[in-house]
Structure 1
Amino acid sequence: MTEQHMVTETEQNRRIDKLMTALIADASRSQVQTWITNGHIRVNGQYVKANAKCQAGDTIEWVLPETEPFTVEPEDIPLSIIYEDSDLLVVNKPRGMVVHPSAGHQSGTLVNGLLQHCDSLSEVNGAERPGIVHRLDKDTSGLLIVAKNDQAHINLAEQLSAKEIDRQYEAIVHGVIDHETGLIDAPVGRDPNDRKKMGVVENGKAAVTHFRVVTRFADFTHVTCQLETGRTHQIRVHMKYIGYPIAGDPKYGQRKTLDIGGQALHAKSLQLTHPTTNEVLHFEEEAPAYFKELLALFEKNIDT
């Protein structure tokens, strides 16, 4: 199916690859450049180069190639399972693990390991995301709920939507926060200038994060965060928005941040109502070693 866009005056002189990356949801700039090179994107019916500048009134047409489906295979991946019964399980996801397969990560994900471990997983989110009720970013560690059947999945998703599942995180952020607690109520949506990032945008979805200071250091603050909503990259976006970006964050952090392989963010606790028994379940998991070592280092620097 051919899609079209007429370049507006505000879009004039933008590179075609940058403009199309903003227009096509979830497309990377390198992917867009490949489509342009292969002739899937044209301007006024003509082939162009990726660095061509758009002019007001230009008509951009594109027909994107269909992505080839892939099969998600079970893999023998060690999992840290905190709780399991016939309806659900709670996993402590390690830092660096992708939750579910995608075009760029077709193996080694949490889902690959779950398929090996479980006889059945819910199918609500399709064959590529079986059992996944909510997600954590690749470099965010911590607790994640997995549904084993559709009934449990629907119940848990409804609890999330109704803000009945308590999710708390801990993070290390740049800067010294001078107040004890805070509430960030700012809508989050796709960054119009970079489709691979989220941001606080006027037409975004409602997003609310509560935070509390645990410890202040010379240049950093250890905080806990509680989610009311679960937007993509919500805590990372919100902490950047108020001027205290998460340490080590390659996407939303400061240009000069800690070289620790990703954001210092850990999903530390979960509280939910069991979808079958109605029992209130609470889980808590300590932050990984790198996180605790950072805190110990900062503490030492204060004492010396």
Structure 2
Amino acid sequence: MDKVNLIVEENNIRIDTYISSKLENLSRSAIQKLINEENITVNSKAVNKNYKVKINDEIIINIPEPKVLDVVAEDIDLDIVYEDNDVAVINKPQGMVVHPAVGHYSGTLVNALMSKVDELSSINGVIRPGIVHRLDKNTSGLLIIAKNDYSHIYLSDCLKEHSINRIYHALVEGVVKNDKGVIDAPLGRSEKDRKKRCVTKKNSKEAITNYEVIKRYKKYTLIKLKLETGRTHQIRVHMKYIGHPIVGDDVYGKVDKKFGLNGQLLHSKSIGFVHPKTKEYLEFESELPIYFKRVLEKLDKSER
């Protein structure tokens, strides 16, 4: 059982709301379940979900071990860009969920990895073996897989230190004026929709995205993005924040009708990192998906 201690820094916020703002991996419904089971205490006493926290309250959260799910290896094609005894680099297709979760117990990257990769790290448990970082379901491109626990810890530390180079390409709505820019805007959960993230100073974390224009079209811009931090939905929220949501993003932008897309045009184009064992710097690049190229070709033709 994992144990998390929090010292409250704010007043008069419902405990489930406060905890969900601090622990992104726990939903409010999961927190309420923990409260009901008395796995969450405040100043060593059980509370109900309506309790409003006070400054200097000590919250102790006991998170039971996840129930072992029967995560089945599935013979799903994987684009394995690189693999050795310690790491693998996968080119994830759009539409594939990274690991099993409610509503997605099969067809995930993890199901495929269990069939194609001989060994995976165990640090994230049976549900997320080998998963060091994630891409959204409808974001395509490169991500690193850890094949043992040493590599997992090493790569997780690299992520925290921002030493993994992650470059994305995206097509965004509108014409971006500046050739280059930095979006330094903290991200937290949206109070209107807890499944979404937004730019906010309240219960937020630092988030920094660098962007550079690759090509401008009449109504769109192709851009390159480099992450300094890796918050949930960071690029998608930051681009919306500056008025240029990603084309096809039906959560932070608008439903695509013009190009017939199934998700946002956001691709993890390249990834570079120092190898956990050899300490050699490795960098990998992937091509844009066919559907992404077709949209760019259509835009090129329309502007001739």
TM over 0.5: yes
Matched position secondary structure for 1:194: coil
CA displacement at 1:26 relative to structure 2: 2.6
**Aligned counterpart, 2:292:** 291
**Deviation sequence 1:232-277 (CA, Å, 0-9, x none):** 0000000000100000001101366654111110000011101000
**Deviation sequence 1:2-51 (CA, Å, 0-9, x none):** xxxxxx9999xxxxxxxx999975358xx9xxx9xxxx9xxxxxxxxxxx
Q: Which sections of structure 1, spanning at least 5 residues, go unmatched?
A: 1-7, 12-19, 41-58
**Over aligned residue pairs, what C-alpha RMSD do you find?**
2.8
Whether contact under 8 Å (2:68, 2:126) holds in the other structure is no
Whether 1:231 and 2:234 are equivalent positions in the alignment is no
Structure 2 CA distance, aligned partners of 1:255 and 1:265? 15
**Aligned counterpart, 1:274:** 275
- Pick closer, same or farther for the CA change 1:296–1:193 going to 2, 3 Å: same
Whether contact under 8 Å (2:248, 2:255) holds in the other structure is no
**Aligned counterpart, 2:251:** 251
- Pick closer, same or farther for the CA change 1:257–1:225 going to 2, 3 Å: farther
Amino acid at match of 2:273: L
Structure 1 CA distance, aligned partners of 2:102 and 2:211? 34
Whether 1:193 and 2:189 are equivalent positions in the alignment is no
**Deviation sequence 1:175-221 (CA, Å, 0-9, x none):** 00111001000111111111010111113110000000011111110
**Deviation sequence 1:129-183 (CA, Å, 0-9, x none):** 0000100000000001000000011111111111111000000000001110010
Please show how residues 25-44 of structure 1 align to structure 2 within 5 Å.
25-26=26-27
Matched position secondary structure for 2:177: coil
Please show how residues 153-164 of structure 1 align to structure 2 within 5 Å.
153-164=152-163
CA displacement at 1:70 relative to structure 2: 2.3
**Aligned counterpart, 1:47:** none
Whether contact under 8 Å (2:124, 2:131) holds in the other structure is yes
**Aligned counterpart, 1:218:** 218
Structure 1 CA distance, aligned partners of 2:73 and 2:13? 48
Matched position secondary structure for 1:196: coil
Structure 1 length as normaliser, TM-score? 0.79
Aligned residues: 260
Amino acid at match of 2:248: G
CA displacement at 1:118 relative to structure 2: 2.1
Whether contact under 8 Å (2:96, 2:109) holds in the other structure is yes
Whether 1:166 and 2:180 are equivalent positions in the alignment is no
Whether contact under 8 Å (1:240, 1:246) holds in the other structure is yes
Matched position secondary structure for 2:196: strand
Q: Which sections of structure 2, spanning at least 5 residues, go unmatched?
A: 1-10, 21-25, 37-48, 52-63
**Aligned counterpart, 2:104:** 105
**Aligned counterpart, 1:152:** 151
**Aligned counterpart, 1:87:** 86
Structure 2 CA distance, aligned partners of 1:22 and 1:197? 16
* Identical columns (%): 50
Structure 1 CA distance, aligned partners of 2:231 and 2:12? 32
Structure 1 CA distance, aligned partners of 2:248 and 2:89? 26
Amino acid at match of 1:153: H
Structure 2 CA distance, aligned partners of 1:134 and 1:238? 19
Structure 2 length as normaliser, TM-score? 0.79
Computing the radius of gyration from Cα coordinates, the structure with the larger value is 1
Whether contact under 8 Å (1:92, 1:285) holds in the other structure is yes
Structure 2 CA distance, aligned partners of 1:257 and 1:82? 32
Please show how residues 195-210 of structure 1 align to structure 2 within 5 Å.
195-202=194-201, 203-210=203-210
Whether contact under 8 Å (1:211, 1:224) holds in the other structure is yes
Whether 1:126 and 2:125 are equivalent positions in the alignment is yes
